[in-house]
Amino acid sequence: MASENSDSQETNSTSLVEDSLNISFKNLGYTVRNGLLSRARKTILDGLSGSFNAGELTVIMGHSGAGKSTLLDILAGYTKPTSGSIYENGRIRNERMFRRKSCYIFQDDKLIETLTIKESLTIAAELKLGNHISASQKRQRVEQIIMSLGLYAVENTKAGNLSGGQKKRLTIGLELVSDPPVMFLDEPTSGLDISVAKKLVNLLHLLARQGRTMVITMHQPSLSLLQMVDRLYAVVAGKCAYMGSVPLLLPYLNQLNLPDLRCLSYHDPVEYLIEISGTYEEKLVEKSKNGSNNCWVTEATDSPILERPKLLRITSTNEEISLTLLTAPKENSTNKIILALKSTYSTSFWKQFITLTRRSVLSTWREPSFTLTFISIHGFMALFIGILFKNVGEDVEKVRDNYNFLYFSLMFLMFNAFSAVSIRFPEQIPVTRREHFNRWYTTGAFYASTLLSTLPIQTVCTLLYSILVYWMTGQSPNLIRFTIFIFTLLLVSYVSLCMGLLNGSIFNVKNGVIFGPLMIMPFTIFSGFFLRYRDAPYFFRWMFQISFLKHGLVGLVLSVFGMGRSNFSCPKIFCYYTYPTQLLIDNHMDKEEFTLAIGALFAISFALIATSFVILKIRLKSKW
Ligand X SMILES: Nc1ncnc2c1ncn2[C@@H]1O[C@H](COP(=O)(O)OP(=O)(O)OP(=O)(O)O)[C@@H](O)[C@H]1O
Interface with ligand X (CB under 6 A): 32, 44, 62, 64-70, 219
C-beta of 79 vs 355, nearer to ligand X: 79
Please, what is the minimum distance in Å from the beta carbon of residue 624 to ligand X? Answer: 10
Give the pairing of strands 320-321 and 310-315.
antiparallel
C-beta of 80 vs 591, nearer to ligand X: 80
Please, what is the minimum distance in Å from the beta carbon of residue 242 to ligand X? Answer: 15
Angle, helix 117-128 to helix 164-176, in steps of 10 degrees: 20
C-beta of 219 vs 267, nearer to ligand X: 219
Please, what is the minimum distance in Å from the beta carbon of residue 43 to ligand X? Answer: 9
C-beta of 61 vs 421, nearer to ligand X: 61
C-beta of 217 vs 612, nearer to ligand X: 217
Please, what is the minimum distance in Å from the beta carbon of residue 195 to ligand X? Answer: 22
Task: State the Cα–Cα distance between residues 100 and 483, nearest whole angstrom.
Answer: 50
Please, what is the minimum distance in Å from the beta carbon of residue 189 to ligand X? Answer: 12
C-beta of 511 vs 622, nearer to ligand X: 622
Please, what is the minimum distance in Å from the beta carbon of residue 220 to ligand X? Answer: 10
C-beta of 220 vs 578, nearer to ligand X: 220
- Map residue 47 onto helix, strand or coil: strand
CB 164 within 8 A of CB 192: yes
Which residues touch 219 (CB under 8 Å, ≥6 apart)?
Answer: 61, 62, 63, 64, 187
| Listed residue (430, 499, 418, 490) closest to 460, CA to CA | 490
Please give the order of strands across the beta sheet that includes 91-92: 41-52, 23-33, 83-88, 91-92
C-beta of 65 vs 304, nearer to ligand X: 65
C-beta of 74 vs 520, nearer to ligand X: 74
Give the pairing of strands 182-185 and 310-315.
unpaired
Please, what is the minimum distance in Å from the beta carbon of residue 76 to ligand X? Answer: 13
Please, what is the minimum distance in Å from the beta carbon of residue 227 to ligand X? Answer: 22
The phi-psi region of residue 572 (left if phi > 0; otherwise alpha if psi is between -120 and 50; otherwise beta) is beta
C-beta of 40 vs 479, nearer to ligand X: 40
Please, what is the minimum distance in Å from the beta carbon of residue 42 to ligand X? Answer: 6
CB 25 within 8 A of CB 49: yes
Please, what is the minimum distance in Å from the beta carbon of residue 472 to ligand X? Answer: 56
DSSP count for the chain of H helices, then E strands: 21, 13
C-beta of 32 vs 480, nearer to ligand X: 32
CB 439 within 8 A of CB 345: yes
Amino acid at 347: T
C-beta of 23 vs 382, nearer to ligand X: 23
Please, what is the minimum distance in Å from the beta carbon of residue 1 to ligand X? Answer: 25
Phi (first) and psi of residue 446, to 5 degrees: -65, -45
Amino acid at 225: L
Give the pairing of strands 57-62 and 231-236.
parallel
Please, what is the minimum distance in Å from the beta carbon of residue 251 to ligand X? Answer: 26
C-beta of 46 vs 175, nearer to ligand X: 46
Contacts 24+ apart (CB under 8 A), 559-566: 559/481, 559/484, 559/485, 559/488, 559/594, 560/393, 560/402, 560/406, 560/475, 560/476, 560/481, 560/485, 561/399, 562/589, 562/592, 562/594, 563/480, 563/481, 563/484, 563/594, 565/476
Please, what is the minimum distance in Å from the beta carbon of residue 277 to ligand X? Answer: 12
Please, what is the minimum distance in Å from the beta carbon of residue 64 to ligand X? Answer: 3
The phi-psi region of residue 47 (left if phi > 0; otherwise alpha if psi is between -120 and 50; otherwise beta) is left
Which residues touch 517 (CB under 8 Å, ≥6 apart)?
Answer: none
- Map residue 518 onto helix, strand or coil: helix
Task: State the Cα–Cα distance between residues 488 and 445, nearest whole angstrom.
Answer: 28
Please, what is the minimum distance in Å from the beta carbon of residue 617 to ligand X? Answer: 19
C-beta of 66 vs 151, nearer to ligand X: 66
Task: State the Cα–Cα distance between residues 599 and 491, nearest whole angstrom.
Answer: 10
Listed in sequence order, the DSSP H helices in 154-306 are: 164-176, 194-209, 223-226, 249-255, 269-277, 281-287
First and final C-alpha spacing in the chain:
35
C-beta of 36 vs 518, nearer to ligand X: 36
Q: Which residues of 345-384 are buried (b: 16+ CB within 10 A; e: fewer)?
A: bbbeeebbbebbbebbeebbeeeeeeeeebbeebeebbee
C-beta of 60 vs 123, nearer to ligand X: 60
Please, what is the minimum distance in Å from the beta carbon of residue 174 to ligand X? Answer: 23
CB 432 within 8 A of CB 363: no
Q: HEC string of 524-563?
A: HHCCCCCCCHHHCCHHHCHHHHHCHHHHHHHHHHHHHHCC
